């Protein structure tokens, strides 16, 4: 655009040079030197123009052109001949034309629009080339209200929108090299600020023909401005100042807008999917169908739908609805025009990237449950993104509660497995302990049997020593019977109370052969002696102890009372003698009493839910009472 200003100045310099053409020939030699320098400078300018690809380089070229203006002024002062001055001006004009011609422009990426009525083919008009950059315009003539002067004659008039920050090119079909001196142009920003003042044409569309007629056209240049502002290109007759054409381009900000959201299963078969792709490729009438309108009303109340797009404000989808097609209200033919970013649960899972398709939809596939935000933007307006949020609900097997329950179940199963293992190990330990206790009990019983036998032999020996052979024989016979019963009972851990009472009765009768003491045995009337079992030979050592250490010294004055009681499931056995008693702190009560205590302790470790307690009450000179309490023995 600056090149146009510079070349206009150069043209004016040339006119001034013409007015000074009658100057003296004394300066001819100097003019030749300046003309040669101008040719060298023009060649340099052409090289600069060939490298120009942006407004920044053209600005540099304009600066060079301004320097050429200074050179032309110098030439004015030094030119003595009109012919040489005209040659200098022509050279500068050719330099300016070369500086305005852009290179490397892909004109098939531009949409051209005419400010022309289509009837008057003799009058020049304006044509505007707006870049596509991958996006067709669905509303090319829609421009926000531009405050132009309504009473002014604008000539042929056209309003356009630009959606890209790239340059928009203006050129004038009908303006040729031959008639360019008849016309001039200018560029305004917001119809107020002159970007390029009224200037003559010095550049032409020799190397391209975006209007399609293949003829050179006067080139105004390429320009752009800020968003939400506009440029006005004006073409007029230089002599009459009659306005021939006006083109207005407004740089409008826009964001990708969603038209609809589909799931692949909504499109049915492959053929229907192909029809859909054809629809989004060729359809320029983006109006929702009746089915599209009703689609979301079936799922959401109207209050939860966006009033503009008709889409849900808060879209919630099932876990299997994880393949989504976001259909945009835009005509896109190059994937580079559209970019998107995907955020899940506050984390970027797809950074900004070019779209996957050369069409106006974004296809997201195989999405995991979560809260999503789809950010979209046009590559020409990266500063202006749009967003749409949606939620994919997890399946019940993917919920936090399920995972917590699954973890709890795993922990519970592990605890149960550990508990069962612990129970098994405890049962095994208890089994081993019981086996050990049984072995120990048998060992104690094996010690009690010799003790009983020793006591019995001592009694037989006492009878023999007294010369009571008949008593000794009877004792020996009864002892054999008693010994057989004891051996039989020792094979079992428990024996019926009835058998134990008979064994005690037989033993006491044998002892009466030695000395005539008195004994009694009484039991509760309803005591089930036949069904009630107690540990084998548990009472006999205690009775033996009462005979040997209690009443043996009293002879016929000795007395032993044995009683069996039961109450509230507890069974009690009392063994009382009227012997001399003893001091428990000094006397241990005999070997049999010690073995019995050990045996009761072992039995209490084996018994399940029951226990045996032995209490010993003795007073010196008053006798001894042994109480055995079988707790929780009778069910």
The Cα 593–Cα 144 span in angstroms is 118
* 443 compared with 538, residue with greater pLDDT: 538
Tell me the C-alpha to C-alpha distance, in Å, between residue 458 and each of 139, 282, 451, 464, 476. Answer: 132, 127, 11, 10, 11
Model pLDDT for residues 431-476, shown as the tens digit of each residue: 777 666 666 655 555 554 565 667 677 777 777 887 877 777 877 7
Contact between 156 and 115 (Cβ < 8 Å): yes
* 197 compared with 150, residue with greater pLDDT: 197
In this model, does residue 550 exceed pLDDT 60?
Answer: yes
The Cα 374–Cα 385 span in angstroms is 10
In this model, does residue 98 exceed pLDDT 90?
Answer: no
Q: Which residues contact 11 (CB under 8 A, 6 or more apart)?
A: 89, 93, 96, 200, 202
Mean pLDDT of 575-591: 74
Sign of the alpha-carbon dihedral angle for 336, 339, 342, 348? positive
Mean pLDDT of 249-260: 90
The Cα 65–Cα 8 span in angstroms is 10
Contact between 256 and 149 (Cβ < 8 Å): no
Q: Which DSSP string corresponds to 492-515? A: SSEEEHHHHHHHHHHHHHHHHTTS
Beta bridge partners of 170: 128, 221
∠ Cα 18 19 25 (to 5°): 75
Q: Which residues contact 243 (CB under 8 A, 6 or more apart)?
A: 152, 153, 154, 155, 234, 235, 236
Q: How confident is the model at residue 34 (pLDDT cuts 50, 70, 90)?
A: low
* 94 compared with 102, residue with greater pLDDT: 102
In this model, does residue 239 exceed pLDDT 80?
Answer: yes
Contact between 337 and 378 (Cβ < 8 Å): yes
Structure tokens at 515: 């000395």
In this model, does residue 84 exceed pLDDT 50?
Answer: no
In three-state secondary structure terms, 272 is helix
The Cα 203–Cα 215 span in angstroms is 13
In this model, does residue 6 exceed pLDDT 80?
Answer: no
The Cα 485–Cα 499 span in angstroms is 9
Give the single-character DSSP code of 615: E
Q: How confident is the model at residue 144 (pLDDT cuts 50, 70, 90)?
A: low
In this model, does residue 66 exceed pLDDT 70?
Answer: no
Comparing CA positions, the residue from 572, 560, 506 lying closest to residue 534 is 572
Q: How confident is the model at residue 7 (pLDDT cuts 50, 70, 90)?
A: very low
Mean pLDDT of 123-137: 80
Is the full-model pTM beyond 0.85?
no
Q: Which residue has 């399920």 as its token pair?
A: 402
Domains in the chain, start-ordered, CATH in brackets? 2-100 (no CATH), 107-251 (no CATH), 258-395 (2.60.40), 419-631 (3.30.565.10)
Mean pLDDT of 4-22: 44
**Helix count and strand count (H, E) for the chain:** 11, 26
How far separated are the first and last CA of the chain, in Å rounded?
116
Q: Given this model, what pLDDT does residue 266 score?
A: 73
The Cα 312–Cα 296 span in angstroms is 7
Comparing CA positions, the residue from 444, 476, 447 lying closest to residue 460 is 476
Mean pLDDT of 288-293: 71
Report the range out of 104-113, 276-285, 485-494, 614-623 with the highest average pLDDT.
614-623
């Amino acid at each position: 655009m600056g090149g146009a200003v510079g070349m206009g100045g150069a043209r004016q310099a040339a006119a001034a040079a013409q007015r000074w053409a009658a100057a003296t020939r004394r300066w001819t030699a100097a003019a030749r030197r300046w003309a040669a320098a101008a040719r060298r400078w023009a060649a340099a300018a052409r090289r600069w123009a060939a490298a120009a690809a942006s407004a920044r380089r053209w600005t540099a070229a304009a600066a060079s052109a301004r320097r050429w203006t200074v050179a032309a002024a110098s030439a004015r002062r030094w030119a003595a001949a009109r012919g040489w001055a005209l040659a200098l001006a022509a050279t500068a004009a050719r330099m300016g034309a070369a500086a305005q011609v852009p290179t490397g422009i892909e004109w098939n990426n531009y949409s051209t629009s005419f400010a022309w009525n289509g009837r008057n083919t003799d009058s020049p008009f304006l044509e505007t080339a707006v870049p596509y950059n991958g996006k067709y315009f669905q509303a090319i003539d829609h421009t926000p209200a531009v405050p132009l002067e309504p009473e002014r004659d604008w000539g042929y008039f056209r309003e356009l929108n630009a959606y890209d920050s790239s340059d928009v090119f203006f050129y004038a079909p009908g303006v040729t090299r031959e008639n360019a001196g008849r016309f001039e142009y200018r560029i305004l920003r917001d119809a107020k600020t002159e970007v390029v003042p009224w200037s003559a044409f010095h550049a032409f569309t020799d190397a391209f023909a975006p209007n399609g007629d293949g003829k050179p056209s006067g080139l105004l240049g390429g320009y752009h401005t800020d968003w939400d502002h506009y440029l006005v290109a004006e073409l007029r007759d230089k002599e009459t100042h009659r306005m021939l054409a006006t083109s207005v381009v407004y740089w409008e900000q826009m964001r990708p807008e969603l038209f609809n959201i589909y799931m692949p299963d909504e499109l049915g078969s492959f053929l229907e999917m192909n029809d859909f792709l054809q629809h989004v490729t060729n359809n320029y009438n983006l109006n929702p169908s009746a089915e599209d309108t009703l689609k979301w009303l079936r799922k959401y109340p109207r209050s939860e739908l966006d009033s503009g797009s008709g889409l849900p404000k808060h879209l919630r989808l099932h876990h299997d609805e994880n393949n989504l097609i976001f259909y945009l209200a835009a005509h896109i033919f190059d994937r580079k025009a559209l970019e998107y970013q995907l955020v899940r649960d506050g984390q970027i899972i797809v950074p900004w990237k070019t779209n996957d398709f050369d069409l106006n939809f974004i296809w997201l596939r195989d999405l995991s449950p979560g809260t999503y935000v789809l950010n979209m933007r046009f590559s020409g307006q990266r500063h202006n993104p749009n967003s749409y949020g949606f939620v994919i609900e997890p399946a019940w097997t993917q919920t936090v509660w399920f995972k917590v329950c699954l973890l709890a179940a795993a922990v519970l199963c592990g605890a149960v497995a550990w508990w069962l293992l612990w129970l098994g190990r405890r049962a095994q330990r208890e089994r081993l302990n019981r086996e050990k206790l049984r072995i120990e009990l048998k060992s104690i019983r094996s010690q009690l049997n010799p003790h009983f036998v020793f006591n019995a032999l001592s009694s037989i020996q006492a009878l023999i020593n007294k010369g009571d052979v008949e008593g000794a024989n009877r004792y020996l016979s009864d002892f054999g019977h008693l010994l057989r019963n004891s051996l039989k009972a020792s094979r079992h851990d428990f024996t019926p109370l009835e058998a134990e009472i008979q064994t005690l009765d037989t033993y006491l009768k044998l002892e009466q052969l030695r000395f005539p003491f008195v004994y009694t045995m009484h039991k509760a009337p309803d005591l089930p002696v036949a069904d009630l079992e107690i540990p084998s030979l548990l009472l006999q050592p205690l009775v033996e102890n009462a005979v040997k250490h209690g009443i043996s010294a009293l002879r016929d004055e000795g007395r032993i009372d044995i009683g069996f009681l039961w109450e509230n499931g507890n069974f009690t056995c009392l063994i009382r003698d009227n012997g001399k008693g003893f001091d428990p702190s000094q006397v241990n009560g005999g070997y049999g009493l010690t073995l019995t205590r050990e045996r009761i302790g072992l039995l209490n470790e084996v018994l399940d839910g029951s226990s045996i307690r032995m209490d010993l009450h003795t007073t010196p000179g008053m006798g001894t009472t042994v109480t055995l309490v079988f707790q929780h023995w009778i069910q």
